[in-house]
Amino acid sequence: MCLCGFAGSPALCFYLQLPNSLHNGYTHNIMQCEYYHIDAFTEKQFKGNPAGVCILEKELPQDLMLKIAQENGLAETAFVVKEYGRYRIRWFTPDIEMDLCGHATLSSAYVIKRFIEPSRQEVIFESRSGALTVTFENQLIKMDLPARMPVKTDLPEEIAGALSIQPAETYKARDYVLLYGSEDDVKNIRIDRKLFDGINLDTGGVCITARGRDYDFVSRFFTPQATILEDPVTGSAHCSLIPLWSKKLGKREMTAMQLSRRTGIIYCGNGSDGRVCVAGYACLYSRGIIETGT
């Protein structure tokens, strides 16, 4: 019996109750679900941002989803359940549940299109940030996400003291967005982790950005008090970067690069209805089964 649902069969997430004889007199419920490890915002393995994608038949308990995300050890794990023609999606870091994650949403859409419903031209995810529509243009995956235009603000001392280079301007939406004078500043900045972890930004982080030489703009993203300090490619941060740079550059269509060690390319569009288009490619690293007892 195939448990994984590959080769075009429906996604599976189910519980098996094993007899006492198999577990020394104890009865265990075993949960199994399809699991995919996807590299997002890249066309090559080992680049972009890795995300875990769990395809579920029904939603799991929140504490179990967090434990799975911790065990995966990736920046984000998405948990996806099909409901009434749409998909409910939740995102977990190894530390907390997130309000929005771009690269794990892009990865989930990639999995659905390639392995679950290849004929789909559109996937709608229901999330904590509302309905997120994803469309496919050949291999390019285009996400319609809420714009979060940042506003000018002061930089908290805990953040300023942790930066080896100070920004020219500071903005804030969910995340702090720090504007720098050059791409080299973004590349070369160093973070004092001990000082940086003195502030808790909940689901937010600190995005540093500048005009790019080969791209319209570049960025990096850091999260204080997080297991993973620097996020390789942060789709949700572009919900703020896109409207900000669109206004500064006078452009609606832009291409951006995130300058982490892995790097990633983001194709950006600024809409007129409070939405942004965050697009990119993805590729499969691995797939298999998660099995855990309850």
Would you please indicate which residues are annotated as catalytic (active-site) residues?
A: 76
Question: How far out from the chain centre does Cα 142 lie?
Answer: 14
Number of Cβ atoms within 10 Å of the Cβ of 65: 20
The structure tokens listed for 102 are 């771009």
Of 46, 61, 75, 44, the closest CA to residue 280 belongs to 44
CA-to-CA distance for 203 and 192, rounded, in angstroms?
20
CA-to-CA distance for 39 and 208, rounded, in angstroms?
22
Q: Are 143 and 134 in contact (CB under 8 A)?
A: yes
The structure tokens listed for 44 are 């090559």
CA-to-CA distance for 29 and 89, rounded, in angstroms?
24
